[in-house]
């Protein structure tokens, strides 16, 4: 696990740079082309995208080969893993090209293809990687990573080929000219990702310097638990939301309505997740980690409250990127990360990791209003009454339940919390049914399953 983690993390930044953020920016252009129904334009956009990705994939792979001795020395303290990094250049190239096909699938909103590719890819990766690790151990890490990358690429290619496109030949000059805007917007996402990585490193370095290596481990474990759970909601909803938002980005009224509806759905789904996290934190730590990590229970609970505001902020935060407003998007990312460092320093100085989690709530609230005010002034966006109501109810419920499990007697606190969780789930299902027809969708799924 340690060797695998070092190999992957050491190449992660290069992988991000290799893609130039095109897998995000191209979704916007493909969605706009799809919205017009112009298949020639759609085909042209994808052709330009893929030619850029071929260049960036080869460039990224070549750079990794050149710096592989330095990466081996940096990650492992010697050059014994130089050839492992050289072989990982194949992974960088395959992932970059595979992201291009996935962008086409996502941009044209072929969500069934995306779901099938993801599920089949996960199953095949498990079936092929397990015997490699079992028989080869550490020596099988790189072959397994290459095999997983190839499987993902092949599946994305297979499903992308199901989308009818015209064959278009575009010269180098046209490719550079037409892809320039996509690259500029993609660089904004790439820069933002690098900023997030840098500031995360600075936070960890601060905790290590002013606390202990143990605190760093606890902090990262807490982030992993909370981020993975709520992050699933972000990822699942962003797959469909961003392409739809990009397609209508020129119409402020449509953008406002879509962002509000998406925020409502996000809160109705995220709130039960957050409450479950707060109630089940001790069980989650014991199952996923070990008894040594029990001190992060209160960290997880407090941090989860902040994640609720992150969920409310998610849909608004993508408006600037969907509109191609690179400066605003990067400025918000820098401001948010600077505020995160400041809140972390203050929180850790006051109450250690619990203080960090408590100040994360403050950070999330400030960021929410910062993004909202920016969207209001620049894009004529304002929160709907339904969105405001769901946010207020969610905050009240989450704070109440967190107070019960942390302050009330165990039996009373957990009994009331579970009861309130049940009420929250029932309310969310009821409201989701009025918004997107949950019962109808579920009935259709059951009937199709029974027919099969």
| pLDDT tens by residue, 155-186 | 888 988 888 777 777 777 777 777 776 777 67
Query: Do 288 and 380 belong to one domain?
Result: yes
Mean pLDDT of 17-29: 70
Query: Do 76 and 115 belong to one domain?
Result: yes
Mean pLDDT of 135-159: 87
| pLDDT tens by residue, 111-131 | 788 778 878 888 888 888 888
Q: Which domain holds residue 13?
A: 2-180
Residues 317 and 245: their CA atoms lie apart, in Å, by 12
pLDDT value at position 290?
77
The verdict on residue 199 lying in a domain is no
Comparison of pLDDT for 87 and 439, the residue scoring more? 87
Over 70: is that where the pLDDT of 452 sits?
Answer: no
Read off the tokens for 170.
Answer: 């575009």
The verdict on residue 408 lying in a domain is yes
The verdict on residue 358 lying in a domain is yes
**How many Cα atoms are found within 13 Å in the side-chain-facing hemisphere of 263?**
32
Mean pLDDT of 9-25: 69
The verdict on residue 198 lying in a domain is no
Of 180, 199, 222, which residue sits at a domain end?
Answer: 180
The verdict on residue 365 lying in a domain is yes
Residues 442 and 425: their CA atoms lie apart, in Å, by 16
pLDDT band for position 223 (cuts 50, 70, 90)? confident
Query: Do 282 and 396 belong to one domain?
Result: yes
pLDDT band for position 70 (cuts 50, 70, 90)? confident
Read off the tokens for 55.
Answer: 């260049």
Residues 79 and 184: their CA atoms lie apart, in Å, by 36
Of 137, 164, 180, which residue sits at a domain end?
Answer: 180
Query: Do 242 and 328 belong to one domain?
Result: yes
| Buried/exposed code over 327-352 (b: 16+ C-beta within 10 A; e: otherwise) | ebbbebbeebbebbeebbbbbbeeeb
Contact at 8 Å (CB) between 175 and 52? yes
Share of the chain above pLDDT 70, in %: 87
Residues 223 and 175: their CA atoms lie apart, in Å, by 41
Residues sharing a CB contact under 8 Å with residue 241, sequence separation 6 or more, in sequence order: 258, 262, 315, 318
Query: Do 52 and 169 belong to one domain?
Result: yes
Residues 375 and 427: their CA atoms lie apart, in Å, by 29
CA dihedral sign, ordered 123, 158, 181, 250 = negative
The verdict on residue 186 lying in a domain is no
Residues 253 and 249: their CA atoms lie apart, in Å, by 9
**How many Cα atoms are found within 13 Å in the side-chain-facing hemisphere of 168?**
21
DSSP state of 167: -
The verdict on residue 316 lying in a domain is yes
| pLDDT tens by residue, 328-377 | 888 888 899 889 999 999 999 888 889 999 999 999 999 999 999 999 99
Residues 30 and 161: their CA atoms lie apart, in Å, by 15
In the predicted model, what is the mean pLDDT of the chain?
Answer: 82
Contact at 8 Å (CB) between 240 and 109? yes
Residues 43 and 427: their CA atoms lie apart, in Å, by 44
pLDDT value at position 370?
93
Residues 250 and 229: their CA atoms lie apart, in Å, by 33
Query: Do 336 and 259 belong to one domain?
Result: yes
- Rounded to 5°, the CA angle 396-401-405 comes to 155
Query: Do 141 and 276 belong to one domain?
Result: no
Query: Do 113 and 257 belong to one domain?
Result: no
Contact at 8 Å (CB) between 398 and 246? no
The verdict on residue 203 lying in a domain is no
Lowest mean pLDDT, pick from 6-20, 61-75, 379-393, 436-450: 436-450
Task: Collect contacts of 33-39 with beta carbons under 8 A, ≥24 apart.
Answer: 33/107, 34/107, 34/108, 34/109, 34/243, 34/247, 35/247, 35/248, 39/164, 39/165, 39/166
Query: Do 111 and 225 belong to one domain?
Result: no
Residues 90 and 439: their CA atoms lie apart, in Å, by 45
Give me the residue label for tokens 């695998």: 4
Q: Which of 180, 128, 186, 179 is nearest to 152 (CA)?
A: 128
Contact at 8 Å (CB) between 340 and 374? no
| pLDDT tens by residue, 268-286 | 888 998 999 899 888 888 8
pLDDT value at position 279?
92
Of 140, 157, 180, which residue sits at a domain end?
Answer: 180
Query: Do 240 and 105 belong to one domain?
Result: no
Among 154-158, 186-190, 443-447, the range of highest mean pLDDT: 154-158
Query: Do 319 and 176 belong to one domain?
Result: no
Query: Do 163 and 233 belong to one domain?
Result: no
Q: What is the pTM of this model?
A: 0.71
Lowest mean pLDDT, pick from 130-134, 137-141, 204-208, 329-333: 204-208
Read off the tokens for 312.
Answer: 């409310």
Over 70: is that where the pLDDT of 439 sits?
Answer: no
For the chain, how many structural domains are there in total?
2
| pLDDT tens by residue, 41-69 | 888 888 888 888 888 888 888 988 888 88
- Rounded to 5°, the CA angle 187-192-195 comes to 125
Comparison of pLDDT for 174 and 308, the residue scoring more? 308
Contact at 8 Å (CB) between 228 and 309? no
């Amino acid at each position: 696990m340690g060797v695998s983690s070092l190999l992957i993390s050491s190449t992660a930044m290069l992988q991000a740079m290799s893609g130039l953020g095109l897998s995000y920016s191209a979704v916007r252009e493909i969605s706009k082309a799809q919205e017009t129904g112009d298949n020639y334009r759609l085909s042209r956009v994808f052709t330009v995208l893929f030619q850029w990705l071929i260049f960036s994939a080869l460039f990224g792979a070549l750079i990794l080969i050149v710096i592989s001795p330095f990466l081996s020395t940096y990650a492992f303290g010697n050059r014994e893993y130089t050839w492992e990094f050289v072989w990982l250049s194949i992974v960088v190239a395959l992932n970059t090209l595979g992201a291009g096909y996935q962008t086409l699938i996502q941009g044209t909103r072929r969500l069934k293809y995306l779901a099938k590719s993801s599920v089949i890819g996960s199953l095949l990766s498990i079936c092929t990687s397990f015997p490699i690790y079992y028989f080869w151990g550490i020596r099988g890490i790189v072959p397994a990573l290459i095999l997983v990358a190839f499987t993902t690429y092949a599946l994305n290619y297979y499903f992308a080929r199901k989308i009818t496109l015209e064959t278009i030949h575009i010269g180098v000059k046209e490719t550079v000219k037409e892809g320039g805007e996509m690259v500029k917007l993609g660089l904004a996402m790439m820069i933002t990702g690098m900023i997030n990585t840098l500031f995360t490193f600075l936070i960890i370095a601060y905790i290590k310097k002013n606390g202990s290596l143990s605190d760093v481990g606890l902090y990262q474990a807490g982030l992993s638990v909370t981020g993975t759970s709520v992050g699933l909601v972000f990822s699942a909803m962003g797959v469909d939301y961003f392409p739809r938002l990009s397609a209508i980005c020129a119409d402020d009224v449509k953008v406002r309505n879509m962002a509000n509806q998406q925020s409502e759905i996000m809160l109705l789904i995220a709130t039960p997740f957050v409450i479950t996290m707060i109630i089940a934190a001790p069980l989650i730590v014991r199952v996923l980690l070990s008894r040594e990590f029990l001190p992060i229970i209160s960290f997880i609970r407090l941090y989860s409250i902040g994640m609720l505001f992150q969920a409310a902020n998610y849909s608004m935060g993508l408006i600037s990127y969907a509109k191609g407003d690179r400066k605003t998007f990067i400025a918000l990312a820098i401001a948010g990360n600077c505020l995160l460092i400041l809140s972390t320093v203050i929180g850790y100085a006051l109450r250690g990791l619990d203080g960090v989690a408590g100040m994360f709530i403050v950070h999330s609230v400030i960021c929410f209003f910062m993004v909202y005010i920016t969207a209001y002034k620049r894009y004529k966006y304002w929160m709907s009454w339904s969105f405001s109501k769901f946010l207020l109810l969610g905050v009240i419920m989450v704070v109440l339940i967190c107070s019960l499990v942390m302050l009330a007697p165990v039996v009373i606190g957990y009994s009331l919390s579970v009861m309130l969780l049940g009420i929250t789930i029932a309310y969310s299902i009821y409201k989701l049914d009025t918004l997107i027809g949950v019962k109808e969708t579920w009935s259709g799924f059951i009937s199709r399953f029974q027919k099969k």
